[in-house]
Amino acid sequence: MSITLNASTQSEAAQQRAAHTLGMAFAHDSAMTFFLPCEDDRADKLTKMFGASLRACDLAGGVEIVDEGLGALGWVSSEHFPLSFVTMARSGMLWTPLYLGLPSMMRLQRHETACEHRITEQYRDINFAYLWMIGVLPTASGQGYGRQLIESACTAMRMAGHTVCVLKTENRVNVPLYEHLGFGVTHHKTVRASNLPVWILERPL
């Protein structure tokens, strides 16, 4: 099992595979189903979105890629959270509305903005790292890749001077999995803008 702490050290093919892995991992996620109702092209749209998101993480935090893209994780440093216009422009995230579609982008943005506001308020003056995305190719699930990615990311976060790792999930099933990895729920509420439940969890570093 090979893990890198910097996506720039991986081949372009590995980075593209990592984006594809995240797209497949979230293709049937409840939140993404709400944001992108059409199942036919959801995975393709998510792959493009996660490609830009991983580039943003490489600029503003860190990226973990396991086994040439079989699993991937991206995180953002608190000093860059929420992402700046410059980071979004450099990563290509500004083009997201073109391939997601304006209605889907608006649903996603309203939800994410509410969550970002809550995290910013809750962790004000704390040097946190935000674990933005993690996914493993569905055919490779259950092989420990997720745990390896999280442990490696937490090490990188700690080395960068962060004191706590923060993440959110809209999927209740994920909560006990994260708790098993040392995370604890610090906030749970339904987001009014999307009517989706959100759990915010943290793990001391």
pTM, 2 dp: 0.93
State the Cα–Cα distance between residues 194 and 81, nearest whole angstrom.
21
List of residues 6+ apart from 97 with CB closer than 8 A = 105
State the Cα–Cα distance between residues 193 and 111, nearest whole angstrom.
6
Distances (CA, A) of 2 to 67, 68, 83, 107, 181: 5, 8, 29, 36, 20
The alpha carbon of 79 is separated from its chain's Cα centroid by a whole number of angstroms, namely: 17
Helix ranges, 61-198 (H) = 85-91, 96-100, 102-122, 145-159, 174-180
Beta strands 164-169; 196-204: pairing state? antiparallel
Q: What was the pLDDT predicted at 1? A: 43
State the Cα–Cα distance between residues 145 and 158, nearest whole angstrom.
20
The alpha carbon of 179 is separated from its chain's Cα centroid by a whole number of angstroms, namely: 17
Query: Which tokens in the block code for residue 64?
Result: 């973990």
Low-confidence ranges of the chain (pLDDT < 70): 1-11
Q: What was the pLDDT predicted at 142? A: 86
What are phi and psi for residue 137, nearest 5 degrees? -55, 130
Query: Which tokens in the block code for residue 126?
Result: 């704390």
- The residue extents of the domains of the chain are 3-204
Q: What was the pLDDT predicted at 9? A: 52
Q: What was the pLDDT predicted at 13? A: 76
- Superfamily of segment(s) 3-204: Gcn5-related N-acetyltransferase (GNAT) (3.40.630.30)
pLDDT in tens, 72-89: 999 999 999 999 999 999
Q: What was the pLDDT predicted at 22? A: 97
Give residue for tokens 């700690």: 158
3-state secondary structure of 19: helix
**Which one, of 28, 29, 23, 30, lies nearest residue 54 by Cα?**
23
Amino acid at 65: I
State the Cα–Cα distance between residues 56 and 51, nearest whole angstrom.
9
